[in-house]
C-alpha cells in the first residue's frame, strides 16, 4: 500500500505550496493573499535567461532552509507579461518580497547564495519559529498513528518534512507508517534520508528495528502453518520463534511476546539466548511505554530472576 509518494531526497519532498509557479490569473491568490499570512518571494524569470538558471537553485535552497517562514512563487514573464509589466520589471532575474499584501523589498540579478540567505533572514527577522507549530502537528500525527490511521499520519509527517526535510521525528514517523502498511521499500527509502550521524537516534533505531523485523517476517511462513507446528510439537522452539516473529508483524504483540517468553522459560540457552534477544528487539520496536513492552518486560524479569 502506497500512502505517500516519496522522492529520493529532501528536494523531492518540497510541497507544491512552499515553492510553486503562478500565473496572471492566480497571482493575487498565490502572492497577494498568501503574503498576508507570511512573506512571499515572487521570482520573475524566463527560460532564455542564463542568470535566472544560476539564481533559482540558490533561491529554492534558501527558501527550504527557512523551514516555512517564507514561500517562493515563480512567474515566467514570457508566458505572463502583464504582472511584471505593471510592476515595472525591466530586467531579470528579479525577486520581489511581498509582506501583508504589499511589495516590501527585493533584489535583481543572480546574487550569491549567501546574499539570498541574508535577504530572507532580514525579511523574516523577528518572526516566530515554526518549531512550535511543527511540534503540534507531530502530535496530531502520533494521535492518528495510535488510532490506526497510518494514511492520515503519513500525510501529516510528509507535511512536516515539506518545511523541514531533516526532521528526525517526522522521518521516523513516516517510515513507521510505511512499515505498518507493508510498504517496506518506501520505509527503506525514507530511512535512507536520515544523515549518517543521526542513525543512532532512538526513534530512527526503533523504526529500523521495526523494518528488520518486518523483513524477517516475510521469510518465516504463514501464521497458520507455524501454529500447527507448535501445536504438534510444543518443544519445536524454532517454529515457536518464527511464529512470534510472524505474529508481531501482524500486530499481535502480546501473543508474540508470550511465545518468546515460553522459549526463555523452557530453554534459556536455546540458539544462544535467541528468544530473549529477539524479545529485546521487540521492546525497542514497540517503545518503552507500550503496554506489551511493559507487561512482557515484567514477565521476563520474573522468569530470569525468580
Which of 49, 174, 239, 261 is catalytic? The answer is 49
**CB of 176 within 8 A of CB of 213?**
no
Separation of alpha carbons 62 and 27, rounded Å: 22
Whether 177 sits among the annotated catalytic residues: the reply is no
**CB of 303 within 8 A of CB of 263?**
no
| Residue 196, Cβ density class (10 Å: 0-12 exposed, 13-18 middle, ≥19 buried) | exposed
Which of 40, 42, 52, 292 is catalytic? The answer is 52
Nearest CA to 290 among 251, 259, 249? 251
At a CB cut-off of 8 Å and minimum separation 6, what does 243 contact?
A: 220, 223, 226, 227, 229, 230, 256, 259
Strand 40-45 to 94-99 pairing: antiparallel
Separation of alpha carbons 184 and 196, rounded Å: 20
Return left, alpha or beta for 35; rule: phi > 0 is left, psi -120 to 50 is alpha, else beta.
alpha
Element (H, E) at 94: strand 94-99
Active site residues: 49, 52
Amino acid at each position: 500500500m502506497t500512502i505517500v509518494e516519496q522522492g529520493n531526497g529532501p528536494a523531492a519532498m518540497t510541497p507544491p505550496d512552499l515553492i510553486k509557479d503562478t500565473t496572471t490569473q492566480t497571482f493575487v491568490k498565490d502572492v497577494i493573499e498568501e503574503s498576508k499570512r507570511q512573506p512571499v518571494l515572487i521570482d520573475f524569470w524566463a527560460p532564455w535567461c542564463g542568470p535566472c538558471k544560476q539564481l533559482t537553485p540558490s533561491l529554492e535552497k534558501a527558501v527550504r532552509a527557512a523551514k516555512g517562514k517564507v514561500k517562493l512563487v515563480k512567474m515566467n514573464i514570457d508566458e505572463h507579461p502583464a504582472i511584471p509589466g505593471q510592476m515595472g520589471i525591466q530586467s531579470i532575474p528579479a525577486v520581489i518580497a511581498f509582506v501583508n499584501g504589499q511589495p516590501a523589498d527585493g533584489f535583481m540579478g543572480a546574487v550569491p547564495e549567501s546574499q539570498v540567505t541574508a535577504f530572507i533572514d532580514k525579511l523574516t527577522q523577528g518572526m516566530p519559529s515554526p518549531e512550535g507549530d511543527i511540534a503540534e502537528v507531530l502530535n496530531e500525527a502520533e494521535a492518528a498513528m495510535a488510532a490506526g490511521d497510518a494514511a492520515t499520519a503519513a500525510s501529516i509527517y510528509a507535511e512536516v518534512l515539506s518545511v523541514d526535510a531533516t526532521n528526525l521525528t517526522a522521518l521516523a514517523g513516516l517510515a513507521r507508517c510505511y512499515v505498518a502498511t507493508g510498504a517496506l521499500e518506501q520505509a527503506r527509502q525514507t530511512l535512507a534520508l536520515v544523515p549518517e550521524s543521526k542513525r543512532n537516534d532512538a526513534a530512527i533505531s526503533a523504526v529500523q528495528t521495526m523494518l528488520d523485523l518486518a523483513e524477517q517476517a516475510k521469510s518465516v511462513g504463514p501464521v497458520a502453518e507455524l501454529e500447527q507446528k507448535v501445536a504438534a510439537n510444543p518443544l519445536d522452539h524454532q517454529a515457536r520463534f518464527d511464529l512470534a516473529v510472524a505474529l508481531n508483524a501482524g500486530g499481535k504483540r502480546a501473543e508474540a511476546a508470550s511465545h518468546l517468553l515460553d522459549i526463555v522459560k523452557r530453554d534459556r540457552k536455546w540458539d544462544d539466548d535467541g528468544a530473549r534477544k529477539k524479545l529485546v528487539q521487540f521492546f525497542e520496536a514497540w517503545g518503552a511505554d507500550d503496554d506489551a513492552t511493559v507487561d512482557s518486560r515484567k514477565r521476563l524479569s520474573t522468569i530470569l530472576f525468580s
